[in-house]
Amino acid sequence: MGAVGAVAPGAVGELVTELSSFTKFRDRIDGLLRDLRASPAGPGKVGEDTMERERFGGGKGEWTEADGLYKSYSTVIKELEGLSQLLSDSIEGMSIAVLGSHKGYESVDLDVRQRMLAIKHSTETHHQAEQAAVDAAAKNAYKPPATSEDPGDTSGTQAY
């Protein structure tokens, strides 16, 4: 142990424990990521077995409710695919962060750093799109009632 052991006898043991802790945590995260990617909920697998519009009945636009149901179904599948990818990227990003916190960011390989930046960019893009949708919904939530062109009419209704 040399000089380190002489200065702080318990420090080497603490470093070994810390390394072991980091390694176990990183392995658990990597295991979660592998399990997610292999499962039916994995990115790209969620939407593999989708239903076609005809399975909802009333084809060729004969049944408007079936069209609406199919559109909702398609939207949910698309959102699930996006969420699955986001979860996978988040778990992978956490694994990279654990590696970086242990080795130091400067010691992480360039391709791993680039992957972390790609995950960051993808997550920010997803967040910005979600925020834009929330902002648009809030903007359209309140619409003042239509006003009459007659300046003396204060009822807000139109006469027939």
Better-predicted residue by pLDDT, 128 or 104: 128
Better-predicted residue by pLDDT, 10 or 94: 94
Which pLDDT tens digit goes with each residue over 126-149? 889 889 988 888 888 776 666 556
Percentage with pLDDT > 70 across the chain? 75
So what's the pLDDT on residue 1?
46
The whole-number average pLDDT for the span 21-27 is 77
Which pLDDT tens digit goes with each residue over 25-61? 878 888 888 888 888 877 777 777 778 888 877 767 6
| Cα 41 to Cα 29: distance, rounded to the nearest angstrom | 17
Q: What does the domain layout of the chain look like in residue ranges?
A: 15-128
| Cα 35 to Cα 103: distance, rounded to the nearest angstrom | 25
Whether the pLDDT of residue 66 is over 80: the answer is yes
The contacts found for 29-32 with CB under 8 angstroms, 24 or more apart, are 29/91, 29/94, 29/95, 29/98, 30/95, 32/91
